[in-house]
Amino acid sequence: MKNLFSNFKGDLFGGITAGIVALPLALAFGVSSGLGPSAGLYGAIFISFFAALFGGTNTQISGPTAPMTAVSMVVIAGIIAINDGSLEKALPAILVVFLLAGLMQVGLGLLGIGKYIRYIPYPVVSGFMTAIGVIILVTQILPAIGYYPKEDEAYVEQYKPMAEEIILDNILKEEAGEGILVLENFEETIKRAETITEADMLKEAQTLAKSEASGVLGALKIMPRALQNINWLELILALSTIVIIYGFKKITTAIPSALVALIVVSGVAYGFGLNYRPIEEIPSGFPVPNLGIFTSFELSSITPYIFTALTLALLGAIDSLLTSVVADNMTKTKHQPNKELVGQGIGNSIAAIFGGIPGAGATIRTVVNINAGGKTKLSGMVAGVLLLVVLLALGPVASQIPAAVLAGILVTVGIGVMDYKGLKAIPSLPKDMSFGPIKFSSEVVIMLVVLVLSSVWNLVYAVGVGLVIASLMFMKKMGDLTAERSDVKSLEKEEGWTDEASFPKNLKETVFIKHLKGPLFFGSTSEFQVLADQIPRTASTVIIRMDRMQYMDQSGLYTLEDVLIDLHNSNIEVLFVDVLKQPRYMMERVDLIPDLIPTEHIFDTFNECLQYLEKKTAERKTEASA
């Protein structure tokens, strides 16, 4: 506790400054997610406070972020779709997914997974972050111009026939669930169908219209229609917000430009009584837990989203730990990655119980906190408390913010979150792989695949596909490299190592040396398997030098065993030189040593092996002369 208040003044100012920066973004991310501004504010309050309290990065400020919000949008839209378009019915299931993601983060931290997050390939992260920018930018164009598909009567009218079909299909499903046979109780079906009102069909049609226009493809599909129905007031408000955000940064960075834009544009719109569209009402009073997440949902509605919850957990972990590295560089400290994951998980879990959207460590807010004097966990806790005070004191005022202002803020977020460093590097990256006559850069391919799939298909699956492609390409490179460096040739054709210079000439055609220059793993086993065929059956001995083979996996182990058996059956003696710790352990575990390679055939140095060969050659000559 003493350390917590060791920098009270700096942490207080840093936390307040970070909280001010977080306010407009929390509201904007909440609206963008589909749960409303209060969900963004609740997420910012609880994640900021509890992630700071239990986390492992003293200066980190956490809350809703662009990547986490983008994935949350997918979860929310998907669960609402299977709940007849009703957010009220879908909310418990949505929050359970967010709660699971938080608990998974706690589990990742307790299992010590934090130290492995850094192995996520940069092209996957780059493609994903650029896709997040594209998604936010494209999807916010519609609210920025004041177009909402579900409110376009002519557009919604197209979906009424489909809406009627869906409602009738739901009636049949209800009857099937009640054990009613349609053919025997057709009158019951007609009776229920007659209860369908025009309002029911309109509501379902609006849900379909909104769903069809969601995401990047949906937004692009309806864009021509939207551009014919621009609400010029909303567009002016959004453009004014964007101009102020970028323009005010050139004047000073001491005051958050997004907050300035929010206050100025909202103040003008409200003060002049303009007929704008406000955001959803923010509930006043202290947030209350949503106990429905423990009672009012069906497990079957959650099951399809288990993988999505894990993706949210992993994404939040990556996002947070990358920010932790930035904080370390600025403060010359070292964060505790696993403790940070536990803190983030606790924060996300509590936020979910109170109806908040998930979040992670936020780089910009963390940098602002450090620059303003924040040094301990207290700064993040202060940021959370400040947002709670804003909620309690200014909730009704914040409810008057124009929706177009938040859309404008999100447009700048989308532009800023893209990985321009990775995009600029595309022309200069080496073309290290080929497909027939076509040469390409594997890193560029991975980045573009993740970018495209994330933008037009599914964020969750795109990351998985990117990781698989990156892993396969890496294994291909390592396998090719190992095979290239580890060719099996006679000493007359292969350049020997320094200690092989004095190898007796009379043994060069009967004793073959295999140099293993890299790991023997499943990516390199196919080339290694040809070892037995490459060595003439006239050979008497094969020396396998393992000085530079640091690692062997199970595939490599069994491949080596097959080769040794083949050589043994051909009466070819095999000698090992300088077997390193991990490969030897693997071979001893399956009794490859000593069953196939006796311990007396394993030497610490090549000179010891050479002495053994010379001694054995002399013994053979003596036996032959006798």
Q: Tell me, which fold does domain 505-624 have in CATH?
A: Transcription Regulator spoIIAA (3.30.750)
pLDDT mean across residues, the chain: 83
* Non-local CB neighbours of 224 within 8 Å, separated by 6+ positions: none
Counting every residue written for the chain, the total comes to 626
Sort residue 602 into left (φ over 0), alpha (ψ -120 to 50) or beta.
Answer: beta
Rounded to an integer, what distance in angstroms lies between the CA atom of residue 365 and that of residue 612?
67
* Overall average pLDDT of the 397-423 stretch: 87
Residue with tokens 């320094």: 498
pLDDT band at 223 (very low <50, low <70, confident <90, very high): very high
Rounded to an integer, what distance in angstroms lies between the CA atom of residue 463 and that of residue 123?
10
Residue with tokens 């709670």: 388
Structural domain boundaries in the chain: 505-624
Token pair recorded at residue 463: 């990351």
Rounded to an integer, what distance in angstroms lies between the CA atom of residue 127 and that of residue 449?
8
Tell me the whole-structure pTM to 2 decimals.
0.74
Q: Is residue 83's pLDDT more than 80?
A: no
Can you give the pLDDT at residue 532?
A: 63
Token pair recorded at residue 116: 């492995």
pLDDT band at 489 (very low <50, low <70, confident <90, very high): very low
Q: Is residue 134's pLDDT more than 70?
A: yes
pLDDT band at 179 (very low <50, low <70, confident <90, very high): low
Q: Is residue 280's pLDDT more than 70?
A: yes
Can you give the pLDDT at residue 174?
A: 67
Q: Are 542 and 535 in contact (CB under 8 A)?
A: yes
DSSP 140-168: THHHHTT--GGG-HHHHHTTHHHHHHHHH
Could you read off the pLDDT of 542-577 as tens digits, one per residue?
888 888 888 888 888 888 888 888 888 888 899 999
Can you give the pLDDT at residue 495?
A: 60
Could you read off the pLDDT of 18-29 as tens digits, one per residue?
888 888 889 989
- Short-list 367, 376, 364, CA closest to 327: 367
